[in-house]
Amino acid sequence: MRSMGGDQVEEAMADAVALLRTATDRDWETTRAGRPEWSCRYTAEHVAGVLLAYAGQLAGRATEGWVPFEITLDEGTGNEDVLDVLETTAALLAATLRTTPRGVRAFHPYPFRSADREGFAAMAVTEVFLHTHDLAEGLGLRYEPPAERCAELLARLFPHVRPDTDPWRTLLWATGRGDLPGRAPVTEWRWRNNLVIPSERLTLQGLTPAAATDLAAGGDGGFAWIDGGPFQGTRDAAGMLVKAYETGVHRPVWGVFALVRREDGRAVGGIGFHGVPDEQGRVEIGYDLAEAARGNGYATEGLRALSAWALGRETVTAVRATTEPENTASQAVIARAGFVRIAGETSEDGAGGEQFAYELRG
């Protein structure tokens, strides 16, 4: 899986500064930066402040809120100096990203109060792209970042947005900066970092469409897997997530999660929903483990954690699970998680085979 980290932040900033350096002789104090009601000068300061804040969150391992500091430029700082500050804050964030371990998460309010290092990197690159666009629009410059990078940002931070043939225009539309044919204008938006659900020995880490695409193609999805992982069922589930994303029906919280072991940060399996809750408030869960992880209670623990999270939603009345009649190991997992077999009810597994149905109610 293509990484999102310090190199990408510095690359985005280098391209932005190279363009903006051609317009440092302009008046940034009174020139408006594109659609936002901000001057070019304030917009540039905002980007520097955001990148420094992200570095502070990760470096300080903040978990409860924003680290209470902000950047202030010295009086008399010129436009060239502002660009130096932008490059410096990008370098500070890049260094922090490179030294932050894979599993570390720090506070970010949207939407689940945390983000990992790749989430902060993706938000930083997006900030640079969007506000360089705003500055370029205000200063009469032409700017367009790489389409492939924009597609990656959409697949990491905007999982609810159906992709389009032009990723840059889609990113602008998704952040209220442009129009797309057939889509209503966006007037309000928020970052969409992935959901992480903790349990005793595991964390259930929601897959972004970017991670799912890599898993479905045979990659690791950005996770360090135990030997033999991931199991094919996880790759198949990731492929279904990608199809839902591409057709615009993916709902991130009702997607797929990697089961990651706390003790060493290694992924041991996958678990997830078969879709959103139905009209009766029922939602179905499926799961699998890498063979080397079986027999340790991870599936039971993951099933309990995800079921509890689902039953905590107002729209959910029951969680369901199905298994083949001969799969006694899976039946034992389901029973230990508190599910009860639904008497007389069976379903088909897609290949015409019978499956037992189980349910857990809130």
- Residue 65's CATH number: 1.20.120.450
Quote the mean pLDDT of the chain: 95
Please list, residue by residue across 311-339, b when 16 or more beta carbons sit within 10 angstroms of its beta carbon and e when fewer do.
beeeebbbbbbbbeeeeeebbebbeebeb
- Note whether 23 and 139 are same-domain residues: yes
Query: Do 290 and 239 sit in the same domain of this protein?
Result: yes
Q: Are residues 111 and 81 in the same domain?
A: yes
Specify if 188 maps to a domain: no
Residue 324 within a domain:
yes
pLDDT of the residue at 126: 98
Please state the domain count of the chain.
Answer: 2
Listed residue (234, 278, 275) closest to 255, CA to CA: 275
* Predicted confidence (pLDDT) per residue in 252-263, tens digit: 999 999 999 999
Residue 26 and residue 164 share a domain:
yes
Phi (first) and psi of residue 268, to 5 degrees: -115, -10
* Spans of the chain below 70 pLDDT: 1, 36, 344-353
Terminal alpha carbon distance of the chain: 38
pTM over 0.85, yes/no: yes
3-state class of 72 per DSSP? Answer: coil
Q: Which domain holds residue 159?
A: 6-174
Alpha helices in 140-279, H assignment, sequence order:
147-157, 167-174, 209-216, 232-246
Clarify whether residues 17 and 63 are in a common domain.
yes
pLDDT of the residue at 247:
96
Residue type, 3: S
* pLDDT tens digits, 56-114: 999 999 999 999 999 999 999 999 999 999 999 999 999 999 999 988 999 999 999 99
DSSP assignment of 284-345 equals EEEEEE-GGGTTSSHHHHHHHHHHHHHHTSTT-SEEEEEE-TT-HHHHHHHHHTT-EEEEEE
Is residue 42, in this structure, part of any structural domain at all? yes
Same domain, residue pair 137 and 235? no
Q: Domain check: are 220 and 121 in the same one? A: no
The answer on 204 and 258 residing in a single domain is yes
Give residue 345's pLDDT: 65
- Last residue within a domain, chosen from 141, 174, 207: 174
- CATH at 263: 3.40.630.30
Helix axes 117-139, 167-174, angle to 10 degrees: 90
Same domain? 293 vs 203: yes
Same structural domain for residues 167 and 241? no
179 within some domain = no
Assess whether 273 and 234 both reside in one domain. yes
Does residue 180 sit within a domain? no
- Give residue 350's pLDDT: 54
